[in-house]
Amino acid sequence: MSVLVFAESLTGSIKKVAQEAVAYGYQAAKAMGTECFALTIGKAEGAAELGKIGATKVYNVAASNDFDAQVYASIIAQAAEQLGASLIVFAHSSSGKSLAGRLAARFDGGLASAVISLPTVSGSNIVVRKSVFSGKAFANYELSGAKNVVTIAANTFRPEAVAADAIVETLSISANAGRVKVKSVNTVTGVVPLPEADMVVSAGRGMKGPENWGIVEELATVLGATTACSRPVADVHWRPHHEHVGQTGVAIRPTLYIAIGISGAIQHLAGVNQSKVIVVINNDPEAPFFKAADYGIVGDLFDVVPKMTEAIRKLKAQN
Amino acid sequence: MKILVCISQTPDTTAKIKFNAEQTQLDANGVQFIMNPYDEWYALVRAIELKEQLGGEVTVIHVGTVANDPTIRKALAIGADNAVRVDSEASSSLFTAKQIAAYAKGENFDIVFFGKETIDYNGSEVPAMVSELLDLPYISYGTEMTVAGNIATISRDIEGGKETVELATPFVISAAKGMAEQRIPNMKGIMMSKTKPIKVVPATANVNTSNIVKYEYPAEKKGCKMISADNIDELVSLLHNEAKVI
């Protein structure tokens, strides 16, 4: 028995969500009385450091970093057999979501996606918790397969140093040729992608126009946050599509979500209501978002936001 | 082009979610059910557009009881040609995936379409499962797709950007915003949907390895602490000292 974590590295280095998945795997293995192994595929800078955060062994399978769910699933399934995995862990990322269902189907395993709890052991089964109905409830899933599969919600399990770096061992598994040809990958550089961001500064129609976004970006910069936007703003192309958070856009669960000039329609809340702390800045005291917020300011955002940036800059200088 | 679109039924986005007393089942009383929006807006509409452009036919499949037929009729009204209903509650993702795969296996569909996820369980699980059961490539969160001959070029959402891939049919795809625009059924479509048959097939393979043992309601929000716009320092101090997030 073991816990096997797929530590993704699609751009050639281990991603933050992969480290979180290993942190989860380490804790899960402890709860289940077993070991946590990490599996990397292709080029994976930072793989050895997964030992530090709890992987007893780190394995690598030589293959292309171009993602093809069919090929990757086959590699991970073979590794799971070889390593005797009873739980397979993925990040709830675009690749994790593409793979978890494939593994569960292959092994007739139980599957729970975007889980937010460590497993509770119940006989030979495990129970995990996840958010359902777009944040309106939680469900506890009992997984009873011989090999179960989970994907881990982002920003939920923090990696901690518990051991030393591991030596990366090569696992001899042959990868089939894929049928998907990756033509291009275009991602933002220099900032944390939204689904992985710990802090998010988001703005909506209250901004009046794309030319006014400077104050939002300044606040994000001083916080080290990623910028986001509401649907109407993405629809009129004030901001790029990948910044759109909400039901039809990206669902996020950062530690801090600051909503500027966003009224808080239910479709928007569905994508952000799992944030730990929500701050709402709006000139309309009746904006529905205040009901879902932890801290609120009624005021002119063009006045409030620069002042907030300044106050945070001052705080950072003191600490 | 022979296309299968898998449609799910979910509570409406605005529905109030409540459970039975034991918190083991959704209380469907007073809940308005709809076709899962991503299945309808993105997957179904794009499938119909491809048929209009390239010829062929669009079949919708749904796993559910006769009570869900109005959802299937709506898909027919929007423009699907054929409909199949697997006559069973969709008890889990893997159960549902097995029913869809069992039907699709003999039919040689070029493309099997899903919405990016359902708005009830938000897992994006079934499309990946179906692709594995059919041993097909799977492209998730597709936002644009063009098809020339049997080659599709697809852009998909990945963290912080997009990836563009190319592959030959057959394959499985889940569709996200950008793939198509919502279509409102017109009167002709609604009239025609009433005469199109819904083929009902029994559930086949069974599996039971994921079970919801209990639902929970989220903790009540403590209420929003309002801070004066003239006192931004207080907000920053609260975020630092009380919430401890900055």
Domains of chain A: 2-170 (3.40.50.620), 194-318 (3.40.50.1220)
pLDDT for the residue A57: 97
Q: Could you tell me if residue B63 is inside a domain?
A: yes
Round to whole Å and give the CA distance between A216 and A221: 9
Contact call for A108 and B94, based on CB within 8 A: yes
Would you call B139 and A180 a contact, using CB atoms and an 8 Å cutoff? yes
Residue B236 lies in a domain: no
Nearest to B212 among A134, A140, A199 (CB): A140
Residue B173, SS3? strand
Residue B28 within any structural domain of the chain: yes
Q: How far is CA A251 from CA A195, A228, A261, A267, A268, in A?
A: 7, 11, 19, 11, 9
> What's the pLDDT at A246?
95
Q: Outline where chain A has alpha helix (H).
A: 16-32, 69-82, 94-107, 214-223, 231-235, 266-272, 301-318
Of A94, A133, A308, the CB nearest to B17: A133
Residue B243 falls within a domain, yes or no?
A: no
pLDDT at residue B160 in the model: 85
CA-CA distance, A65 to A9, in Å (whole number)? 7
Closest-CA distance, A130 to chain B, in angstroms, reads 9
Q: With an 8 Å Cβ cutoff, are B14 and A141 in contact?
A: no
Range of the domain at B96: 2-220
Residues of chain A neighbouring B178 (CB-CB closer than 8 A):
241
CA angle A31, A33, A36 (to 5 degrees): 85
Which CATH number goes with the domain that contains B61?
A: 3.40.50.620
What pLDDT does residue A191 have?
A: 84
Average pLDDT over every residue of B11-15: 93
Q: Which of A70, A95, A105 sits opposite B129 (nearest CB)?
A: A105
**pLDDT band, very low/low/confident/very high, at B205 (cuts 50, 70, 90):** confident
Q: Do the chains contact at B129 and A104, CB–CB below 8 Å? A: yes
Cβ contact, residue pair A127, B246, below 8 Å:
no
What amino acid is encoded at A306 in this protein? P
Q: What is the mean pLDDT of residues B139-154?
A: 97
Please tell me the predicted confidence (pLDDT) of residue A11.
87
Is A308's CB within 8 Å of B232's CB?
yes
The pLDDT assigned to A319 comes to 83
Structure confidence at residue A176 as a pLDDT band (50, 70, 90) = confident
pLDDT of residue B94: 98
Residues of B in contact with A114 (CB under 8 A): 122-123
Task: Give the side-chain half-sphere CA count within 13 A for A99.
Answer: 27
The predicted pLDDT at position B220 comes to: 85
Which of these ranges, A9-18, A278-287, B44-53, B59-68, has the smallest mean pLDDT? A9-18
Q: Inform me whether the pLDDT recorded for B222 exceeds 90.
A: no
Q: Which residue of A has its CA nearest to B14?
A: A266
CB contacts of B229 in chain A (<8 Å) are: 297-300, 303-304
Query: Is B40 part of a structural domain of the chain?
Result: yes
Task: Assign 3-state DSSP to chain B and report helix, strand, coil percentages, each to 5.
Answer: 30, 30, 40
8-state DSSP, A175? P
Contact B119, B94 (CB under 8 A): no
Q: DSSP secondary structure string, B7-43?
A: --EEE-TTPPP-B-TTSSSB--TTPPEEE-HHIIIII
Distance separating the N- and C-terminal Cα atoms of chain B: 54
Interface pTM, i.e. ipTM: 0.96
What's the mean pLDDT in B160-180? 96
Q: Which residues contact A189 (CB under 8 A, 6 or more apart)?
A: none
Per cent of chain A over pLDDT 90 is 95
Which two three-digit tokens encode residue A128?
Answer: 């995990």
B5 near B82, Cβ under 8 Å? no
Q: Which residues of B touch A134 (CB under 8 A)?
A: 13, 119, 122
**Alpha carbons A21 and A227: distance in angstroms, whole number:** 24
How many whole angstroms separate alpha carbon A140 and alpha carbon B212? Answer: 6
What are the pLDDT digits (tens) for A56-98? Answer: 999 999 999 999 999 999 999 999 999 999 999 999 999 999 9
Q: What is the mean pLDDT of residues A13-39?
A: 97
User: Which of A37, A71, A283, A80 is CA-nearest to residue A167?
Assistant: A37
Query: Is pLDDT of B144 > 90?
Result: yes
B229 pLDDT higher than 90? yes
What is the rounded CA–CA span in Å between residue A76 and residue A30? 22
CB-nearest to A141 from B129, B210, B232 is B210
pLDDT digits (tens, 9 = 90+) for B25-76: 999 999 999 999 999 999 999 999 999 999 999 999 999 999 999 999 999 9
- Nearest CB among B126, B138, B157 relative to A70 is that of B138
Q: Within a domain: residue B246? A: no
A306: closest chain B residue by CA: B232
- Using the predicted structure, report yes or no on whether residue A187 has a pLDDT greater than 90: no
DSSP structural state of residue A44: -
Choose between B13 and B51: higher pLDDT: B51
pLDDT of residue A190: 81
**Residue A126 predicted with pLDDT over 90:** yes
Q: Cβ separation of A315 and B236 shorter than 8 Å?
A: yes
Contact A146, A109 (CB under 8 A): yes
Domain count along chain B: 1
What pLDDT, on the 0 to 100 scale, is given for residue A278?
Answer: 98
Alpha-carbon span A121 to A28, nearest angstrom: 9
Q: Among A144, A296, A315, select the one facing B240 at the smallest CB separation.
A: A315
Option in A140, A182, A266 nearest B213 (CB): A140
Whether A293 shows a pLDDT value over 90: the answer reads yes
Is residue B229, in this structure, part of any structural domain at all?
A: no
CA-CA distance, B240 to A313, in Å (whole number)? 12
Alpha-carbon distance B44 to nearest alpha carbon in chain A (angstroms): 16
The pLDDT score that the predictor gives to residue B221 is 80
Confidence of residue A156 (pLDDT cuts 50, 70, 90): very high
Among all residues of chain A, which has the CA nearest to that of B158?
A94
Residues of chain B with Cβ-Cβ distance to A100 below 8 Å are: 125, 128
Chain B residues whose CB is inside 8 A of the A94 CB are 140-141, 156-159
Predicted confidence band at A10 (pLDDT cuts at 50, 70, 90)?
Answer: confident
Residue whose C-alpha is closest to residue A206's, from A244, A261, A259: A261
Q: Which residue of A has its CA nearest to B25?
A: A139
